[in-house]
């Protein structure tokens, strides 16, 4: 039960909502909810913890681009502002997440009514039934790639998921993954369920198997002081985990 609750809370934090039900957690303890550096609050452009400008630069997003934001959350609004009215943001809130967090539907509805986000389109498919538009410039998944391997998500068919991303991108398009680092050698699903981390080498191998070419990494969210042995929402490590930021490119 504790592992399930941890999964729910981790997903809620990544999506920018509070966990509910048996895993209720209004705010992680020991953090000032009014602090601009509290990793439980804000979005990519108003909370420096997320390194939003640096991540946006790494993705290479520009006006008029079309991007899919999988498990759309902290960066969705930043993407909307970056691509502008001629661009498009396709936010995916997986059905598995919405079932546990029905308030996500309220957030989606409210955003749809806001003229500032007229360029955002949100869908709520089951993760394995996800359909993405074609000829995308970029696909982004933040702190949730590891969730594809957890029980909460099915687990998902990860090879099929990555193939869908590959098919949706235009030649030269990028697939950018940001997640919490796990030490090498552990069983992928076990580590993902227990710590909500994943070995970057596993991600690289899985994504390259779908046809992508590794195109670079950023250390902007790296933290070598992280021992990699704590669940990412433990208060002693929350907001300070060692995170990898990888960019893969679909060959032209």
pLDDT at 104: 79
> Could you identify the residue written with the tokens 């990898």?
244
Which residues, in sequence order, are CB contacts of 2 under 8 Å at separation 6+? none
pLDDT at 100: 79
pLDDT at 138: 98
Residues 252 and 170: their CA atoms lie apart, in Å, by 8
Q: What sign does the CA torsion over 104, 34, 9, 69 have?
A: positive
pLDDT at 20: 38
pLDDT at 37: 63
Contact 44, 55 (CB under 8 A): yes
**What's the helix, strand, coil split of the chain in %, to 5?**
35, 20, 45
Burial of 4 (0-12, 13-18, 19+ CB in 10 A): middle
pLDDT at 97: 83
pLDDT at 14: 57
**Taking the chain (252 residues) in consecutive chunks of 10 residues, what is each chunk's mean pLDDT?**
45 51 37 54 84 96 97 90 97 89 81 90 95 98 95 93 98 98 96 97 98 98 97 91 98 94
* CA dist 207 → 86, 151, 154, 181, 211 (Å): 29, 20, 19, 16, 7
CA dihedral angle for residue 99, residue 105, residue 107, residue 108, rounded to 10 degrees? 120
Is the overall model pTM greater than 0.85, yes or no?
Answer: yes
Q: Which two tokens stand for residue 68?
A: 């899919």
Complete domains list, the chain, with CATH: 2-249 (3.40.50.150)
Residues 239 and 237: their CA atoms lie apart, in Å, by 6
pLDDT at 67: 98
Instruction: Work out whether strand 169-180 and strand 243-249 pair parallel, antiparallel, or are unpaired.
Output: antiparallel
């Amino acid at each position: 039960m504790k592992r399930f609750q941890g999964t729910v809370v981790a997903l809620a934090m990544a999506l920018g909502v509070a966990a509910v039900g048996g895993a209720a957690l209004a705010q992680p303890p020991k953090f000032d909810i009014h602090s601009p550096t509290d990793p439980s609050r804000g979005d990519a452009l108003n909370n420096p913890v997320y390194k939003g400008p640096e991540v946006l630069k790494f993705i290479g997003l520009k006006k008029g681009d079309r991007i899919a934001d999988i498990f759309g959350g902290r960066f969705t609004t930043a993407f909307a502002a970056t691509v502008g009215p001629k661009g498009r943001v396709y936010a995916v809130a997986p059905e598995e997440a919405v079932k546990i967090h029905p308030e996500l539907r309220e957030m989606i509805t409210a955003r749809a009514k806001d003229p500032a986000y007229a360029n955002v389109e949100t869908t709520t498919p089951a993760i394995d039934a996800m359909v993405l538009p074609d000829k995308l410039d970029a696909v982004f998944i933040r702190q949730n790639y590891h969730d594809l391997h957890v029980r909460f998500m099915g687990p998902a068919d990860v090879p099929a998921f990555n193939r869908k991303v590959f098919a949706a991108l235009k030649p030269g398009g990028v697939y950018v993954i940001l997640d919490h680092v796990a030490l090498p050698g552990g069983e992928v699903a076990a580590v993902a369920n227990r710590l909500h981390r994943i070995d970057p080498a596993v991600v690289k191998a899985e994504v390259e198997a779908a046809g992508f070419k590794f195109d670079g990494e950023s250390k902007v969210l790296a933290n070598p002081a992280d021992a990699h042995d704590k669940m990412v929402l433990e208060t002693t490590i929350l907001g300070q985990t060692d995170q990898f930021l990888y960019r893969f490119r679909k060959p032209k």
